[in-house]
């Protein structure tokens, strides 16, 4: 209850990041002064930091919820001990440790595919609509929105099936104890991986802004090129894969709790 009592403040901090990020984009697109852009960049850096903190809060609350769901799973399945010496328990534990990494890799790959499709569409419009650069013709904004929307839905079908199919498959083959080990592994690695992605992604983004402010050689330097590459990885880390892992952890525990008694009654091993 104490942790949830500050949820309103955390939501406010979480909303600060996207607001200042959009403000910076509006300033840049409207041709605002460099002084104004410098102010929005400073606010954006602060917003990245607050987003990392609030995403950590979200993952921590998800971890606590997962622990409660895991305790409920143990009560439903009447499991008192999870013996990690048993081979099937070790298999379940290893699979659980792998799931957050597999899920995150699918999410990052989906971002990359959507980005390449967007780049191809932008290049096509520059070639087929010559008046874009001079301002005489308007780009087809709806096509880019369609690409991102379709990619967001289509590319996440397989990752969405992972937390549903894997525990059911493990439960009906290796049994309820193996599923318990799977939940332990997925919760622990998911929590740590999400924290790393949220914090690391924000750090990469802020490192690029720090260099663009004139430090370490400024724009165009080798350090800036490296920072741009890091930011390209950091954005899907902090905005896609990291925040989605707490959904994975909670959904895994919910699915296992729902099918727990069936695992006990109908498991092959």
Tell me: the pLDDT tens digits for 15-66? 888 888 888 888 887 887 888 888 888 888 888 788 878 888 888 888 888 9
The per-residue pLDDT for 174 is: 94
Domain ranges of the chain: 4-266
Mean pLDDT of the chain: 88
The first and second tokens of residue 133, run together, are: 């650069």
Contact by Cβ (8 Å): 157, 165: no
The pLDDT assigned to 263 comes to: 94
**pLDDT value of position 98:** 96
User: Helix 34-77 and helix 176-212: axis angle, to 10°?
Assistant: 170
pLDDT at 198 > cutoff 80: yes
Q: What is the DSSP string of 9-47?
A: HHHHHHHHHHHHHHHHHHHHHTT--HHHHHHHHHHHHHH
Query: Can you tell me the distance from the alpha carbon of 79 to that of 92, in angstroms, rounded to the nearest whole number?
Result: 15
**Cβ contacts of residue 204 below 8 Å, gap of 6+?**
227, 230, 231, 233, 234, 237
With bands split at pLDDT 50, 70 and 90, how would you rate the model's confidence at 175?
very high
The structure's pTM equals 0.86
Residue 19 CB neighbours (<10 A): 12
pLDDT at 248 over 90: yes
């Amino acid at each position: 209850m104490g942790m949830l009592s500050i949820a309103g403040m955390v939501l406010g901090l979480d909303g600060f990041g996207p607001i200042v990020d959009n403000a910076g984009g509006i300033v840049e697109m409207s041709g605002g002064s460099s002084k104004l852009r410098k102010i929005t960049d400073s606010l954006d850096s602060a917003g990245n930091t607050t987003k990392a903190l609030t995403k950590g809060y979200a993952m921590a609350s998800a971890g606590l919820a997962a622990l409660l769901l895991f305790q409920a799973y143990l009560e439903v399945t009447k499991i008192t001990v999870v013996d990690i010496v048993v081979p099937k328990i070790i298999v379940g534990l290893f699979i659980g440790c792998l799931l957050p990494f597999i899920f995150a890799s699918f999410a990052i790959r989906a971002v990359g595919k959507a980005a390449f499709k967007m780049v191809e569409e932008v290049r096509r419009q520059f070639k087929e609509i010559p008046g874009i650069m001079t301002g005489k013709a308007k780009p087809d904004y709806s096509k880019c929105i369609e690409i991102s929307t379709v990619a967001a839905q289509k590319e996440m079908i397989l990752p969405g099936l992972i937390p549903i199919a894997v525990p059911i498959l493990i439960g009906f083959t290796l049994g309820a104890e193996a599923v318990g080990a799977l939940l332990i592994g997925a919760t622990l690695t998911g929590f740590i991986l999400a924290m790393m992605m949220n914090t690391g992604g924000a750090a990469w983004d802020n490192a690029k802004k720090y260099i663009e402010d004139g430090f370490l050689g400024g724009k165009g330097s080798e350090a800036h090129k490296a920072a741009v590459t890091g930011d390209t990885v950091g954005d899907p880390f902090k905005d896609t894969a990291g925040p989605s892992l707490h959904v994975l952890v909670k959904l895994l525990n919910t699915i296992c709790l729902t099918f727990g008694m069936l695992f006990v009654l109908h498991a092959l091993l």
